[in-house]
Amino acid sequence: MSVIVRQIGHSGIYASVLALGTWAIGGDAAWGRQDDGISIRAIHEGLDKGINLIDTAPAYGFGHSERVVGEALKGRRDKVILSTKCGLVWDGLGGSKHLERDGKIVCKNLSKEAILRGAEESLRNLQTDYIDIFITHWQSAPPYLTPVSETMEALLALKKEGKIRAIGVSNVSCAQVEEYLSCGDIALVQQKYSMLDRKVEEELLPLCEKKDLTFQAYSPLEQGLLTGNIGRDTVLPEEDVRRRSIWYQPQNREKVISMLEGFGPLCEKYGCSLSNLVIAWMAAQGGKINILCGARKPAHVLENVKGGEIELDGQDVLNMRRDIENLTAL
Ligand SMILES: NC(=O)c1ccc[n+]([C@@H]2O[C@H](COP(=O)([O-])OP(=O)(O)OC[C@H]3O[C@@H](n4cnc5c(N)ncnc54)[C@H](OP(=O)(O)O)[C@@H]3O)[C@@H](O)[C@H]2O)c1
């Protein structure tokens, strides 16, 4: 078996349906410290087994994730579809405050200057002369508002120069997607989507299908909760991003774990793990879906690959949805 491959939008770029996310590889306070040697082994494991789409961002460890990915791709760049992002800055350019992490104030800024400067920095960090998919990370917000037309002007200029091959957008509304499309071609929408968070099914996912855009689901494993590896008694460190998630609260975590235990017979049927089953269910939600799983351990990457190879029977997909829809958070 091999990992299923799908086109990104109508860009002519073909990528594995399972992509590797490298947020945690950045080693910042959100996910805690990480050994770079292990991260590089994890990335190589994915590439060796058929994952060819790697996602990173300057904001993941303030350039560290990009630098580790760049190291890992030395000598293999041409075999990889590489996506990184723009529009979050912390180096004095200014913008609208997004968050504070490791003593730095991170701002949203999608101005032409921020995008062009960010692209050069990412190219240096990644040790490459082109980025396959360049994604606006978070959308412009008051008080520092940039019109989408200015953002797209910068992105289209980078595309014309050959520094990027395709444009993606993240954390967007349908109206924002329409606005981007009115200024030029985009190929991919990267948005939160998991069994436990299905808001996008109402409008954004159908819009992507209609416009022939790849819908790339981030945090599809609900940041680890849907792998079965987070137990009823698992205690997360104080600064861990997951402590804020409603599904990690004890009363809700219990419900999720019980639902996952109920998927046991399906895991047996497909000879797969829970995370495999979850990835395969996500990939079955539409022909333009790409599943962006974060993993920083070689064993996790290796295990997830199998999820990108499994095609579930339609009835199993529906039965799982019934259980998922029965779950409500308190
Ligand atoms: N555009 C945005 O604003 C945005 C926001 C969030 C995420 N993202 C992107 O999406 C990617 C994925 O999202 P995410 O990292 O938030 O969440 P995720 O993919 O839902 O989950 C990642 C977590 O699952 C664990 N895991 C992965 N495979 C596992 C396995 N087989 N068994 C047990 N545990 C496993 C990982 O552990 P280990 O780390 O220990 O391997 C990590 O703790 C990110 O890395 C990033 O590239 C984008």
Q: Edge-to-edge strand order for the sheet containing 88-89?
A: 88-89, 104-108, 96-101
More confident residue, 237 or 324: 324
Residue 307 within a domain = yes
The protein residue with its alpha carbon nearest to ligand 1, atom 41, reads: 295
At residue 30, does pLDDT exceed 90?
no
- The angle that helices 298-307 and 36-48 make with each other, rounded to 10 degrees, is 30
- Any ligand 1 atom below 6 A from CB of 221: yes
- Domain with residue 17: its CATH number is 3.20.20.100
At residue 1, does pLDDT exceed 80?
no
* pTM for the whole structure: 0.97
pLDDT of residue 151: 98
- Which amino acid is present at 176? Q
pLDDT of residue 238: 82
Domain that holds residue 308: 13-230+276-313
pLDDT of residue 241: 82
**Cα–ligand 1 centroid distance for 310 (angstroms):** 20
- Any ligand 1 atom below 6 A from CB of 227: yes
**Cα–ligand 1 centroid distance for 112 (angstroms):** 30
DSSP state of 275: H
Averaged over 87-107, what is the pLDDT? 94
C-alpha 29: how far from its chain's center?
Answer: 18
- Any ligand 1 atom below 6 A from CB of 106: no
The protein residue with its alpha carbon nearest to ligand 1, atom 8, reads: 218
Question: Tens digits of per-residue pLDDT, 184-203?
Answer: 999 999 999 999 999 999 99
**Cα–ligand 1 centroid distance for 293 (angstroms):** 5
Per the listing, tokens 């990889």 go with 80
The protein residue with its alpha carbon nearest to ligand 1, atom 44, reads: 21
- Spatial neighbors of 9 by CB under 8 A, at least 6 apart, are 166, 185, 186, 187, 188, 212, 213, 214, 288
Give the catalytic positions in this structure. Answer: 60
Residue 289 within a domain = yes
Average pLDDT, the chain: 96
At residue 18, does pLDDT exceed 80?
yes
At residue 82, does pLDDT exceed 80?
yes
Averaged over 292-296, what is the pLDDT? 96
pLDDT of residue 2: 82
Share of the chain above pLDDT 90, in %: 89
CA distance 20 to 294: 6
Residue 28 within a domain = yes
Query: Given pLDDT bands bounded at 50, 70 and 90, which one contains residue 134?
Result: very high
Residue 27 within a domain = yes
Residue 127 within a domain = yes
Q: How many CB atoms lie within 10 A of CB 195?
A: 24
CA distance 158 to 161: 5
Length of the chain: 330
Q: How many CB atoms lie within 10 A of CB 201?
A: 12
**Cα–ligand 1 centroid distance for 162 (angstroms):** 30
At residue 130, does pLDDT exceed 90?
yes
Residue 270 within a domain = no
Strands of 8-103 (E only): list them. 14-16, 18-21, 53-55, 81-86, 88-89, 96-101
Residue 293 within a domain = yes
Averaged over 256-270, what is the pLDDT? 97
The answer to whether the CB of 3 falls within 8 A of the CB of 309 is: yes
- Any ligand 1 atom below 6 A from CB of 134: no
Residue 203 within a domain = yes
Share of the chain above pLDDT 70, in %: 100
At residue 29, does pLDDT exceed 90?
no
Give how many domains the chain has, as a whole number. 1
